[in-house]
């Protein structure tokens, strides 16, 4: 179970990493049902990334995989090509969504959007590690 | 301008009031452009209210009015009946969305969803007062 | 045919009337196909009314009627009750959309949103008269 | 802040350039919140490009980047591949959307649609330069 206090700890860790990279981010945490627990947009972060961060978190929990790995599998010619059309536009297939694991079980996910794919991924991993 | 730290102060005030009422809430804050700054779902709050809270905040800023007052004006026979169809399903016409005002100008809004209309409104007013 | 220069003359007339009323408005003009020719948001007008103004114009041309008259016919118990569900949320059933007529034929419409129903209607009529 | 008079100056510059190229265009200007300030469809411009122009402007402000550059980054195999699925179909990943900058800060965007990618981009740049 991802409680609001868990989400806040995850978001705080993401903010620390984002500031270290000098790149403001949108940060979203979803629970086991894929539903939003909390979102924060750091000052100056892209407004288009609000939706992207929430949907990266959703996607990562929805398929129990990082969005980076899903992205590799959904390029043209790959096995999941076209999956981004499903779920009413909520599937994000690029880096920044990472599952949250407790006792070996995925119970939620974090989604980061606001920088390059590499930056988003790095912040997402730091955030998930704080769970 | 509604900064993330403003949103957090507003959300904290909402949580205090919600706990006082014994009713967990979804709390959302949007900026002048109607875009989400931050959202928090208190433990046990309805998942259907995630979207409602964000859209109450959007609506309140979009029309510079409380969603309660807009609701009164959009009942059958009233001047804005049917407005809830606009803006792609984002217009909420019941209590819980309140504008955020600074120096006499509306610069954002807070949206609360999770209880009765009366409870949502009461939490939203306490939240907006903390801005 | 509603040309861009027609739309501009209509919008200019709407602005004059809106300033006279002291209420900033969103103003939209559509052509015979119901497609947008031009839109203008006066400084300070509601952002939620962007969509409403465009859709009032669409609705007025789509059914060749003012949205005020359509509204009267689509209240609960009336013959068109529920019509606002059609056309993917684009049907507006409150005052502010008025057809544009040339040589007795409806060739477009203007949509106004930003004030009370009475204000919107009054600006829309002034705008349509400039066609 | 992008005022209506700013938007009109930008649109006028776009029209001059579009006429020079002999290609009628849809021209849209959004403000800092990504919300439409004004739109104009030149006589004969594609009706399918109404939505495209508005969404190019939205996208450019939403991610603080030209849609041309975003397009390069969202091809298969690139870091933002799939971003066009986000934001409910409003993300455009081809040339014609350009940010509006004042005092080194992005405060809005212009979106052009109606010709080839090269033409749209050229008109968008001429338009943004008039801000």
- For position A66, what pLDDT does the model report? 98
> How far does C115 lie from chain D, in Å, by closest CA?
17
Q: Nearest by CB to A48, from D62, D76, D81: name it.
A: D62
- How far apart (Å, rounded) are the C-alpha atoms in residues D2 and A67? 36
The backbone region for C27, taken as left when phi is positive above 0, alpha when psi lies in -120 to 50, beta otherwise, is beta
The strand pair at D26-30 and C36-41 is best described as unpaired
Q: At D104, which helix (H) or strand (E)?
A: none
B86 and D CB contact within 8 Å: no
- For position A24, what pLDDT does the model report? 98
Task: Name the DSSP letter for residue B63.
Answer: T
- How far apart (Å, rounded) are the C-alpha atoms in residues A2 and A37? 8
Alpha-carbon distance values, A83 to A92, A111, C3 (Å): 9, 18, 43
The backbone region for D59, taken as left when phi is positive above 0, alpha when psi lies in -120 to 50, beta otherwise, is alpha
- For position D68, what pLDDT does the model report? 98
Could you list the mean pLDDT of each consecutive 10-residue stretch along chain C, which spans 131 residues?
97 98 98 98 98 98 97 95 94 98 97 98 98 95
- How far apart (Å, rounded) are the C-alpha atoms in residues D65 and D68? 8
Residue B108 · residue C47 · CB < 8 Å: no
Residue B27 · residue B14 · CB < 8 Å: yes
Residues belonging to chain A: 131
Buried b (16+ CB within 10 A) or exposed e, B64-87: bbbbbebbebbeeeebbbbbbbbb
D84 and C CB contact within 8 Å: no
Token pair of A56 as six digits: 């990266």
**pLDDT beneath 70, residues of chain B:** none
Q: Which residues on D lie below 8 Å from A84 (Cβ)? A: 82, 85
- For position B126, what pLDDT does the model report? 98
Residue D112 · residue D128 · CB < 8 Å: no
**pLDDT beneath 50, residues of chain A:** none
Token pair of A22 as six digits: 């000098």
Contact C41 D38 (CB under 8 A): yes
- For position A5, what pLDDT does the model report? 98
Q: What is the pLDDT of residues D68-115, one digit of tens each?
A: 999 999 999 999 999 999 999 999 999 999 999 999 999 999 999 999
Token pair of C54 as six digits: 């465009």
> How far does D118 lie from chain B, in Å, by closest CA?
31
- For position A67, what pLDDT does the model report? 98
Backbone phi, then psi, for A104, in 5-degree steps?
75, 5
Token pair of B55 as six digits: 């859209």
- For position A36, what pLDDT does the model report? 98
Across the C:D interface, residue pairs with CB atoms under 8 Å apart total 38
Contact A94 D76 (CB under 8 A): no
Token pair of C35 as six digits: 């497609």
In order of start, what are the domains of chain A with their CATH numbers?
Answer: 4-129 (3.30.450.150)
Residue C87 · residue C62 · CB < 8 Å: yes
- How far apart (Å, rounded) are the C-alpha atoms in residues A42 and A23? 9
- How far apart (Å, rounded) are the C-alpha atoms in residues A79 and A59? 17
CB neighbourhood size of A76 (10 A):
10
Residue B33 · residue D34 · CB < 8 Å: yes
- For position D52, what pLDDT does the model report? 98
Q: Please, what sign has the CA dihedral across residues C45, C51, C57, C60?
A: negative
Optimal mutation site among D1, D2, D30, D35, interface B, most CBs of chain B within 10 A:
D35
Contact A43 B4 (CB under 8 A): yes
- For position A11, what pLDDT does the model report? 98
Environment class of B27 (CB within 10 Å of its CB; exposed 0-12, middle 13-18, buried 19+):
buried
B82 and C CB contact within 8 Å: yes
Token pair of C45 as six digits: 């007008």
Contact B32 D32 (CB under 8 A): yes
Q: Which residues on D lie below 8 Å from C39 (Cβ)? A: 36, 38-39
Q: What is the pLDDT of residues C11-38, one digit of tens each?
A: 999 999 999 999 999 999 999 999 999 9
D103 and C CB contact within 8 Å: no
Q: Nearest by CB to A40, from B35, B38, B47: name it.
A: B38
Alpha-carbon distance values, B88 to B28, B32, B55, C48 (Å): 19, 19, 11, 11
Q: Which residues on B lie below 8 Å from A40 (Cβ)? A: 4, 7, 37-38
Optimal mutation site among B30, B31, B35, B108, interface D, most CBs of chain D within 10 A:
B35
């Amino acid at each position: 179970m991802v409680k609001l206090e868990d989400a806040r700890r995850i978001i705080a860790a993401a903010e620390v990493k984002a500031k270290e990279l000098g790149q403001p981010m949108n940060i979203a945490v979803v629970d086991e049902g894929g539903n939003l627990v909390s979102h924060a947009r750091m000052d100056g972060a892209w407004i288009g990334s609000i939706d992207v961060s929430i949907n990266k978190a959703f996607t990562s929990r929805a398929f129990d995989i990082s969005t980076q790995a899903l992205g590799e599998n959904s390029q043209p010619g790959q096995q999941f090509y076209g999956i981004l059309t499903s779920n009413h536009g909520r599937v994000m297939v690029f880096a920044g969504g990472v599952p949250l694991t407790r006792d070996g079980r995925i119970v939620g996910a974090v989604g980061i959007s606001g920088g390059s794919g590499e930056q988003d991924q790095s912040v997402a991993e730091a955030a998930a590690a704080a769970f």
